[in-house]
């Protein structure tokens, strides 16, 4: 590696829609830099990036792969990010720790939905960005048309730095607009090309594009602008600092054409990354929070060591790998490291610069480095690492909330015993997963970003830990309540030779406002029920309401008033009064117009305007109520209240309905009465399930 200084480092995320060519680009970069002796392909399942069994089986990227390489004397940390919506968590965490992003846009399909999502992240994080228009050798590939989609959908500040020479099958090289040089490739997949003059038929277009580019660059430097406007020729070494400033401040986004599979234009992309993308030292200070409040972490190699864990990977050979981005200071591998969040010291076994699944050990890391550390015990994604005594923590990485849930059922007792361990490991690797045991339905609910996400997780659990799981739609946590008051007597009398059992209670059941739960009131006068048995009556009722009279769901929002009863000096007991109370509950609630309640969710859907009608119509079919519509830039925000029972597959439906451009969040609002026709079906199903269990 080159001299280890922040000024010599570039950190780049390769981002874009699934299938746009990120992994193929990374493969070409690896080949051109000598990491491999031949170009692998996704179809042949032999790329350095997609090395997991699931990635090779499905031929898609699931995880971010990290490559630490050298080009032109500079250290590059390149993160090849997944492009499918289900793995947006990996994309978000990778972009949080890089200083720039290369947007890979298919020259055939243009800007696609996940490219738009990545662009939103880049804007949010203030990342310098470069566009690489891929697949220029393909039929129907069109550089100018793709450039227009970039300008229309993402930014007008996208400006060509290179033009393609030829198109589709005749694509053979690129023209550097700034240097006015052409680079023509041999076309045999090697990195070999020769430098030549701009083709004569392209000269006028190149001159016009160069003038536009120069105007954009000099806008960031008043002195250069004056000289340029006066007609003075500006030298390249004067242009580069202004160019880097414009790119760093997101006032200009370079656009380059290329073909990764034919290995055309890849070296020029690497040169562009080195020449124009910011170094860690160029970046503004990062915010962190300590006991004294917010502080600024300067990107200073001589400052205190501060790093953020952005990814955990479990390697079958190495074990747990924790991936860190260093934002300040430096650290040697023989020093201890301190987890600020956990307030725990960790032992470093090695620093590894990764190249896919392979790692090279290094002795020291500095500001800007992205490194993997094996076997850190307590470190989790989002933790801040420093040296002992450090108190400043970086803000946590903002991951999207899960939107798709299934109930998981172990196929055997052995699977059940191993499930907790397996899920614990998977949750550590993937913060966009969530698992909980629902105390009401007793379902084990696994939630993620979509059906593909969950499907891959289940495959990993089976492959790694030998745990086989079935899935089904989770049960809805329905509840029951009453609509009117009713009185009932519960009398339990049992004589079995010797001491008997006797308890007698009269209870009035009254409905309460929604959300009030259960209340108990003692109105006994004259000792009709002795004080010592009153707690037993309340306890009996609290146990009874757990299983309602309609379908066995918990009963809520009712008040029970104990107003009369009787007892026996010898035969009465706490158990007898508990049983009597439950008998009164069943009788009284049955006569108090019991109804089913269902959870209603607050749902917020964000979609482009053209899908607004479809989304609203779909909500009507889900028994939803539209609560309002707001605008957010060019997007529409639909706020609705929808029964949970109608929302379990909504993530898949919305993605299909909006071509992947819609997203939503959902949280619990309140309980509402279930319509009678639907309630009948739920009750019948509950009765059938109860019959099966007998």
- 286-386, what's its fold? Elongation Factor Tu (Ef-tu); domain 3 (2.40.30)
d(CA 14, CA 408): 34
Confidence of residue 677 (pLDDT cuts 50, 70, 90): very high
Closest alpha carbon to 448 in 55, 90, 49: 90
Alpha carbon distance 245, 217 (integer Å): 9
Element (H, E) at 93: helix 88-97
List 105's β-bridge partners, or say none. 133
| Distance in angstroms (rounded) separating the CA atoms of residues 112 and 99 | 23
State the CATH architecture for 6-172+252-280.
3-Layer(aba) Sandwich (3.40)
Work out the number of other CB atoms within 10 angstroms of the CB of residue 429: 18
Two structure tokens written together for 485: 């008051």
Pair of tokens at residue 390:
């450090």
pLDDT at 363: 93
Cα torsion 252, 256, 260, 265 to 10°: value is -130
Q: What is the bridge-based pairing of β-strands 558-566 and 501-511?
A: antiparallel
Nearest to 239 by CA among 177, 151, 162: 177
CB atoms within 10 A of CB 283: 21
pLDDT in tens, 395-416: 999 998 898 999 999 988 888 8
Query: Is the distance from CB of 57 to CB of 51 less than 8 angstroms?
Result: no
pLDDT at 1: 41
| pLDDT for the residue 694 | 64
Q: Tens digit of pLDDT for each residue in 605-621?
A: 998 889 999 999 999 99
Residue pair 616/622 in contact by the 8 Å Cβ criterion: no
Is 650 a residue whose pLDDT tops 70? yes
Q: Does domain 479-592 have CATH number 3.30.230.10?
A: yes
For 303-325, the pLDDT digits (tens) are 999 999 999 988 766 688 999 99
Q: Residue 297's beta-bridge partner residues?
A: 286
Q: How far apart are CA 514 and CA 439, in angstroms?
A: 20
Burial (0-12, 13-18, 19+ Cβ within 10 Å), 434: middle
Q: Which one has a higher pLDDT value, 4 or 655?
A: 655
pLDDT per residue as tens digits for the range 144-196: 999 999 999 999 999 999 999 999 999 999 999 999 999 999 877 788 899 99
Instruction: Identify the DSSP state of 475.
Output: P
As a whole number, the mean pLDDT across the chain is: 91
* Residue 495, pLDDT score: 76
Query: Do 404-472 and 479-592 share a fold?
Result: no
Other Cβ atoms closer than 10 A to 332:
12
Question: In 44-180, where do the E strands start and end?
Answer: 65-71, 74-80, 100-106, 128-134, 158-160, 162-165, 173-176
The C-alpha atoms of residue 264 and residue 273 are separated, in whole angstroms, by: 16
CATH architecture of the domain covering 404-472: 2-Layer Sandwich (3.30)
Q: How confident is the model at residue 540 (pLDDT cuts 50, 70, 90)?
A: very high
Q: For the sheet containing 518-522, what is the strand order?
A: 486-494, 501-511, 558-566, 518-522
- 141 class by beta-carbon count within 10 Å (0-12 exposed, 13-18 middle, 19+ buried): buried
Query: Which position has the token pair 């692998």?
Result: 40
Distance of CA 234 to the CA centre of its chain: 46
Ordered DSSP codes for 152-212:
HHT-TTEEESEEEES-GGG--EEEETTTTEEEEE-SSSSS-EEEEPPPGGGHHHHHHHHHH
> Which pLDDT value is given to residue 19?
86
Contact 23, 47 (CB under 8 A): yes
223 token code pair: 């002195």
Residue 497, pLDDT > 80, answer no
Query: Kind of pairing, strands 625-632 and 635-643?
Result: antiparallel
Give 565's strand partners: 505
Whether 631 and 606 have beta carbons less than 8 Å apart is answered as no
The CATH number given to 597-677 is 3.30.70.240
Q: What is the pTM of this model?
A: 0.85
Check whether 624 has a pLDDT greater than 70. Answer: yes
The residue with tokens 């990227």 is 61
CB 405 within 8 A of CB 447: yes
H or E segment and range at residue 518: strand 518-522
User: For 195, phi and psi rounded to 5 degrees?
Assistant: -90, 135
Residue-wise pLDDT for 433-450, tens only, equals 999 998 888 899 999 998
Q: Using the predicted structure, report yes or no on whether residue 693 has a pLDDT greater than 80.
A: no
CA dihedral defined by 134, 137, 143, 146, rounded to 10 degrees?
-50
Q: 420: which residues sit within 8 A by CB, 6+ positions away?
A: none
- CA 280, 284, 286, 290 torsion-angle sign: positive
CA distance 577 to 593: 25
pLDDT confidence of residue 222? 85
Which of these, 641, 638, 655, lies nearest to 604 by C-alpha position?
A: 638
Q: Which of 326, 170, 191 is nearest to 271 (CA)?
A: 191
- pLDDT 10s digits, 525-539: 889 999 999 999 999
What distance in Å separates the CA atoms of residue 8 and residue 77, rounded to the nearest whole number? 11
pLDDT class for 2, splitting at 50, 70, 90?
A: very low
The average pLDDT across 352-361 equals: 89
pLDDT of residue 687 exceeding 60, the answer is: yes
For residues 508 and 563, the answer to whether their CB atoms sit within 8 Å is yes
Question: In sequence order, what are the residues at sequence separation of 6 or more whose Cβ sits closer than 8 angstroms to the Cβ of residue 133?
Answer: 105, 106, 107, 143, 146, 147, 255, 256, 257, 258
pLDDT at res. 412: 86
- In this prediction, residue 278 has a pLDDT band, given cuts at 50, 70 and 90, of very high
End-to-end CA distance of the chain: 70
CA distance 366 to 327: 8
DSSP secondary structure code for residue 529 in this structure: S
- Domain locations along the chain: 6-172+252-280, 286-386, 404-472, 479-592, 597-677
Backbone angles phi, psi at 531, to 5 degrees: -55, -35
Is the per-residue pLDDT at 336 higher than 60?
yes
Express each pLDDT in 16-66 by its tens digit: 998 899 999 999 999 999 888 777 666 766 677 666 766 667 777 778 999
Residue 543: what are its φ and ψ, rounded to 5°? -75, -40
């Amino acid at each position: 590696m080159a001299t280890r200084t922040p000024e010599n480092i570039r950190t780049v995320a390769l981002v874009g829609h699934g299938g746009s060519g990120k992994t193929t680009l990374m493969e070409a970069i690896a080949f051109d830099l000598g990491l491999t002796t031949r170009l692998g392909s996704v179809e042949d399942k032999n790329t350095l990036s997609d090395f997991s069994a699931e990635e090779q089986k499905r031929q898609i990227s699931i995880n971010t792969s990290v490559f630490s390489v050298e080009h032109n004397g500079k250290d590059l940390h390149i993160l090849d990010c997944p492009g499918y919506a289900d793995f947006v968590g990996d994309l978000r965490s990778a972009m949080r720790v890089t200083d720039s992003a290369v947007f890979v846009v298919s020259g055939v399909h243009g800007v696609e939905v996940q490219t738009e999502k990545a662009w939103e992240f880049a804007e949010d994080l203030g990342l310098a960005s470069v566009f690489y228009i891929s697949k220029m050798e393909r039929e129907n590939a069109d550089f100018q048309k793709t450039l227009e989609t970039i300008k229309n959908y993402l930014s007008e500040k996208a400006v060509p730095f290179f033009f393609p020479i030829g198109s589709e099958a005749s694509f053979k090289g690129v023209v550097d607009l700034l240097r006015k040089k052409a680079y023509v490739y041999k076309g045999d997949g090697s990195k070999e090309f020769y430098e030549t003059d701009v083709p004569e038929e392209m000269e006028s277009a190149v001159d016009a594009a160069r003038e536009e580019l120069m105007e954009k660059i000099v806008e960031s430097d008043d002195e250069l602008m004056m000289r340029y406007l006066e007609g003075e020729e500006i030298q390249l070494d004067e242009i580069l600092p202004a160019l880097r400033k414009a790119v760093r401040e997101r006032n200009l986004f370079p656009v380059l054409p290329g073909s990764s599979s034919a290995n055309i234009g890849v070296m020029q992309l690497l040169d562009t990354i080195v020449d124009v993308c910011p170094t860690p030292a160029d970046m503004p200070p990062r915010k962190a929070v300590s006991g004294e409040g917010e502080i600024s972490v300067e990107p200073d190699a001589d400052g205190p060591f501060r790093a953020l864990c952005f990814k955990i990977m479990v390697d079958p050979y190495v074990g747990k790998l924790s991936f860190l981005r260093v934002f300040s200071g430096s650290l040697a591998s023989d020093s201890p490291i301190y987890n600020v969040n956990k307030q725990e010291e960790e032992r470093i076994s090695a620093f590894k610069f990764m190249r896919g699944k392979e790692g090279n050990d290094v002795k020291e890391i500095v500001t800007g480095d992205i490194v993997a550390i094996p076997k850190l015990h307590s470190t989790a994604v989002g933790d801040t690492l420093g040296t002992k005594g450090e108190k400043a923590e970086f803000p946590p990485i903002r991951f999207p909330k899960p939107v798709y849930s299934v109930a998981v059922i172990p196929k055997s007792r052995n699977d059940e015993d191993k499930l907790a361990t397996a899920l614990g490991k998977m949750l550590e690797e993937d913060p966009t997963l969530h698992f909980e045991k629902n105390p009401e339905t007793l379902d084990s609910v696994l939630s993620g970003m979509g059906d593909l996400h969950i499907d891959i997780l289940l495959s990993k659990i089976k492959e790694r830990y030998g745990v086989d799981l079935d899935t089904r739609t989770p049960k809805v946590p329905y509840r029951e309540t009453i609509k009117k008051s009713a009185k009932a007597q519960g009398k339990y009398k049992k004589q079995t030779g010797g001491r008997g059992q006797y308890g007698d209670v009269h209870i009035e059941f009254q409905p309460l406002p929604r959300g009030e739960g259960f209340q108990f009131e003692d109105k006994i006068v004259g000792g009709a029920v002795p004080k010592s048995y009153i707690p037993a009556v309340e306890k009996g009722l609290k146990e009874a309401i757990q299983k309602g009279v309609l379908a066995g769901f918990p009963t809520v929002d009712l008040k029970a008033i104990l107003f009369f009863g009787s007892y026996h000096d010898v035969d009465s007991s706490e158990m007898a009064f508990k049983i009597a109370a439950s008998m009164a509950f069943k009788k009284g609630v049955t006569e108090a117009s019991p109804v089913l309640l269902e959870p209603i969710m607050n749902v917020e859907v964000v979609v482009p305007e053209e899908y607004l009608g479809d989304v609203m119509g779909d909500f009507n079919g889900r028994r939803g109520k539209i609560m309002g519509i707001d605008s957010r830039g060019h997007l529409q925000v639909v706020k609705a209240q929808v029964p949970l029972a109608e929302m379990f597959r909504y993530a898949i439906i919305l993605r299909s309905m909006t071509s992947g451009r819609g997203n939503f969040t959902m949280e619990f609002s309140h309980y509402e009465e279930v319509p009678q026709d639907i309630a009948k079906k739920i009750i019948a199903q509950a009765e059938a399930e109860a019959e099966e269990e007998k």
